[in-house]
Structure 1
């Protein structure tokens, strides 16, 4: 069966058919990778996988990042230290078998507080609730293209500190101390507009809203400008809502998208296995590229 893909929204996302990830060939992978580069998020449905097969496909994208294991429930898939569990299921002793529980996860980019943030992330659905738990994605290149030219010109000169204090569920990361002063919190500075290293596409790079700070700007001014930027970054026209089905595999570019998750009923189970591709690049802005 030939590989075919269908765009999901004008801004991002493609549904790919004709690929069995359990036995994907090198040639098929190159086709899938090319579609992913252009659409930023890809969905492959009805994948009948084992954990070794999921890990094999994940590793075709690059070196895998083991689970961060920071905070309750950050557990690897048994026998697969490079995969981890996103779940609200608890074991016989009442301990969570995975991360993030059943609450909402707010808009974020994975581990953007690192100097080399993860390149890509992937989820494979194993157990699903009857309602809720949808995952949303936002295209940062499309958000940038939607902005007035004068705003884009200004953002190209700015950098943002990506806070490392809190996770996407609002919990303090292991080893960190609660701090709600963005000018003083622990974090890494990245350009606000970056060049996607492989495609050359210009894209916003925001991380998460909480404790974000535009470096060198008075905090009140930074907050006002960030609120404007986020209104473009999360606008309906640049977002995609993924409603999960069993056997779905969803891969996203961690440098060109943000994502969030809806809450779901606490008495229902949602389990996904997750892989993450280690960061390959130190992020640079278009101005840095031009200077080079």
Structure 2
């Protein structure tokens, strides 16, 4: 990780990069994402390649602002029906601007007339890579905090660059060329998705098959690509060996020195690289509301 860096975004604005964790995360200070010029964006992109996870505090973004900033990173994934917010809602925190509704989703524990508005509720979200069960997982996610609980609901991130680099040479050689099946049956809080059956044997896991070690297409660095632990399976190995190896890799990947935790404030925008970082979320008291708006940037096939 680099030390604090000052970067001129415009003639009148200075962007500062302040590292947060030992190997992951940085604050980007002195920037209004709703009024970002091309030079400022290019410098932010370089900081993102270095730090994997960026935090922008004190933002005041509309859904259109969030969509337009995210779109500068690449094409946006469309929002699945089940994750869509309410386009016309009495509460503006829950409403999605109609012109952004195709690409901005709601993450919240709020219910209207007994129906959940947004996804994931107040549950703990386990370590995972977003949608790695797809053949082409997303490149990145951006999450904007609108309302946060007084405690809990924090988001932790782990560097898969650091996890891979810390492996001994024997383990590195062993996993090079191995693949893993990423379970599509459950979401990140462990709920069984509609249309899927319970999986008792990981050898029956349904989902995309990806390399255990992927190469970042921008930086060229290698990193672990684990997805999520539950029901994962390495098809090149007997089940017992697959389970033991995955347990070991997950223990290494989530070592505290590779992690950093975001304690949310309203107006925080978090941007993370889904290709080389894991993340998780703490649970929180359901008496408090947590409302986030989210975008997801299309990725490419891991290699």
Name the TM-score, length of structure 2 as normaliser. Answer: 0.90
1:97-116 pair list within 5 angstroms: 97-116=117-136
1:146-225 pair list within 5 angstroms: 146-225=166-245
Aligned residues: 279
- Please report how far the alpha carbon of residue 77 of structure 1 lies from its aligned counterpart in structure 2 after TM superposition: 5.6
Asked if the contact 1:194/1:202 (under 8 Å) is kept, the reply is: yes
Q: Aligned partners of 1:233 and 1:171: how far apart in 2?
A: 23
Unaligned runs of 5+ in 2: 1-12, 88-97
Q: Aligned partners of 1:5 and 1:182: how far apart in 2?
A: 43
1:269-284 pair list within 5 angstroms: 269-279=289-299, 281-284=300-303
Asked if the contact 1:141/1:256 (under 8 Å) is kept, the reply is: yes
Alignment match, 1:287: none
Alignment match, 2:138: 118
Q: Aligned partners of 2:172 and 2:291: how far apart in 1?
A: 39
- Please report how far the alpha carbon of residue 269 of structure 1 lies from its aligned counterpart in structure 2 after TM superposition: 0.2
Unaligned runs of 5+ in 1: 285-292
Asked if the contact 2:107/2:291 (under 8 Å) is kept, the reply is: yes
- Please report how far the alpha carbon of residue 255 of structure 1 lies from its aligned counterpart in structure 2 after TM superposition: 0.4
Asked if the contact 1:77/1:83 (under 8 Å) is kept, the reply is: no
Alignment match, 2:35: 23
Asked if the contact 1:77/1:84 (under 8 Å) is kept, the reply is: no
Q: Are 2:84 and 1:75 aligned?
A: yes
Asked if the contact 1:67/1:76 (under 8 Å) is kept, the reply is: no
After superposition, give the CA deviation of every residue in 1:35-78 in whole Å (9 maximum; x if it has no partner). Answer: 001110000000011111111101111111122334xxx22362
Alignment match, 1:290: none
What is the root-mean-square deviation in Å for CA atoms of aligned residues? Answer: 1.0
Q: Which residue among 87, 103, 106 is the counterpart of 2:108? A: 87
- Please report how far the alpha carbon of residue 186 of structure 1 lies from its aligned counterpart in structure 2 after TM superposition: 0.8
Q: Aligned partners of 1:159 and 1:236: how far apart in 2?
A: 26
Asked if the contact 2:205/2:233 (under 8 Å) is kept, the reply is: no
Q: Are 2:58 and 1:46 aligned?
A: yes
SS at structure 2 position matched to 1:57: helix
Asked if the contact 1:77/1:273 (under 8 Å) is kept, the reply is: no
Q: Which residue among 265, 270, 279 is the counterpart of 1:245? A: 265
Shift in alpha-carbon separation, 1:135–1:77, aligned structure 2, 3 A: farther
Asked if the contact 2:18/2:27 (under 8 Å) is kept, the reply is: yes
- Please report how far the alpha carbon of residue 220 of structure 1 lies from its aligned counterpart in structure 2 after TM superposition: 1.2
Alignment match, 1:141: 161
Name the TM-score, length of structure 1 as normaliser. Answer: 0.93
- Please report how far the alpha carbon of residue 154 of structure 1 lies from its aligned counterpart in structure 2 after TM superposition: 0.9
